[in-house]
A and B are shown apart, each in its own frame.
Chain A
């Protein structure tokens, strides 16, 4: 890449910078509006009457929201680690395991949850649990989440593995007599950042999931997005904005951590 010259090149199109500004405006203005209206003191979201924290205060006394948030966290903290562990093993085999017959198939299998439209997965999972009579409350949701978290955990781990210098492991094997030690002391620590990234991605995806959880969750297993949905159906109120803004901030926080974390490890 050459240095950016002060003179306009013919390939720096005019208007593209303006267009990009509009682009980012389009992306972020709705979020901005959402957050702004959460501070609206009027009950009816559309009519601005003044700045107020009351909707956030109301959230803190709302048991149902807290229950839903707790459920979201329980599900994410269970599904994400399991998905990450499965993804790690799979990555190790698929990246380092050489060629074997089921390799292409396994690769396809891991990306399957990404390919199938979410509504189809949601409905299929619902039918599956219903016909087999599996009704374990939150565990149903956790199982469903684990499945679609696997590909998200897999991507960073795979990238990390591929970027890792195989010579390091070869050297380790010369030093240690058994493979497990070599793995434990060299490969695993090097892989840890990738694993953590995978975990963070899987976690965010689980927290944010809506469609699958909506169809699969039974009584008492409501997660935060599903709860927000029933609030939205009731009508637009600043309370929804408040809880949405909080959820947004939480997701953005995690993703920012992930990004900063990744930047520190220059593969």
Chain B
């Protein structure tokens, strides 16, 4: 029921005008400008020359070596690959860590459930940089882990576990950053689960594994997929974890893009990589929407 009055269209337009103008001008606008910049020529001293050039995109695959010859350059493919692998690994790890916890929380009483979920959410609302920084203290040389090993006599004073500046350090940072985003959707779909289904299934199947496989997993699938996407997408474009924990040596898509706008001063290339990342994300979201539609159809038609 529309409460806004007779002139529906006018009210709708007025109501949505702020939204459209703000996001239109300051979100769509920048994205369009960025798309344009990705097609321009870069200025050696930073910024762009207003000339059309496909070099931004070309640089992803090809490179001119110092002698001006064009050659295939696998470097950025490697970075893209590394970003993918790390993002997928982070997603899987978060799933493994978060799934049992989500299940356990959903089986508690209402009061306990709410408190636990609140505790899960808190880290998410705090500053990502600070949370990642905490890991430097833990993983760094002389940090918490090494000090404890030292204390327990497992590591001598001069030795080092060399945990920092590795892919594993980045992985830990990524998982830590987005773990709550995996837990919350899974919890949401588990919460809706009907206990009677479980009871019935318990009568039918004697093993717990069967219970998990046949009932719990399929029913929480929307949550699992939702959570996976919520973790995978940010991990793809992550910047803080690779920058602080990876030592700047192991570039990922996010830090590669940022690098182009600071030291490397190659805006078109940075914009091209950003467009690439954006298209990947859109693809994933389309895929998700498609699956959701199918799932809904499945639920309706059974």
A–B in direct contact per CB < 8 Å? yes
Interface, chain A (partner B; CB < 8 A):
1-2, 4, 9-13, 15-17, 19-20, 23-24, 26-31, 33-34, 37, 44-48, 85-87, 89-90, 92-94, 96-98, 100, 102, 106, 109-110, 112-113, 115-128, 130-131, 143-144, 146-147, 150, 166, 169-170, 173, 179, 182-183, 187, 204-205, 207-208, 210-211, 215, 225, 228-229, 232, 236, 240-241, 244, 247-248, 251-252, 254-256, 259, 263
B261:A215 contact, CB within 8 angstroms: yes
A-B contact pairs, 20 of them (CB 8 A): A2-B195, A19-B101, A19-B104, A33-B138, A34-B133, A46-B137, A86-B18, A93-B15, A97-B8, A102-B16, A115-B285, A119-B274, A121-B30, A130-B47, A146-B26, A187-B3, A208-B127, A215-B258, A244-B134, A256-B122
Across the A-B interface, give the 4 residue pairs with the lowest CB-CB distance, nearest first: A117-B237, A46-B142, A30-B134, A93-B15
B176 at the interface (CB under 8 A from A): yes
Residues of A within 8 A of B18 (CB): 85-86, 89-90
Cβ of B47 to closest chain A Cβ, rounded Å? 7
A34 CA / B129 CA spacing, docked (Å): 12
Asked if B244 is an interface residue, CB under 8 A from chain A, the answer is yes
Contacts of A120 in B (CB 8 A): 31, 34, 237, 257, 274, 277-278
Give chain B residues whose Cβ lies under 8 Å from the Cβ of A48: 147
A112 touches B23 (CB 8 A): yes
Cβ of A119 and Cβ of B237 under 8 Å apart? yes
A-facing mask of B1-31, CB < 8 A → 1, else 0? 1111100110110111011101110111111
Q: Is the CB of A236 within 8 A of B101?
A: no
Does B169 sit within 8 A of A, measured CB to CB?
no
Q: How far in angstroms is the closest Cβ of chain A from B252?
A: 10
Asked if B121 CB lies within 8 Å of chain A CBs, one says: yes
Minimum Cβ distance to chain B for residue A32 (Å): 9
Q: Could you tell me if B127 and A225 are in contact, using CB atoms closer than 8 angstroms?
A: yes
Question: Nearest CB to that of B24 among chain A residues?
Answer: A109
Chain B residue nearest to A28 in the complex (CB):
B123
Q: Which of A92, A121, A122, A241 contacts B15 (CB 8 A)?
A: A92
Is B67 interfacial (CB-CB < 8 Å)?
no
In Å, the complex CA distance between A31 and B127 comes to: 11
Rounded to whole angstroms, the CA-CA distance of A123 and B260 in the bound complex is 10
Which of B100, B120, B144, B254 is the one whose CB lies under 8 Å from A119? B254
Binary CB contact string for chain B from 241 to 278 against chain A (1 if under 8 A, 0 otherwise): 00010000000011001100100000100110010011
Measured between C-beta atoms, what is the minimum distance from A145 to chain B in Å?
10
Are B261 and A126 in contact (CB-based, < 8 A)?
yes
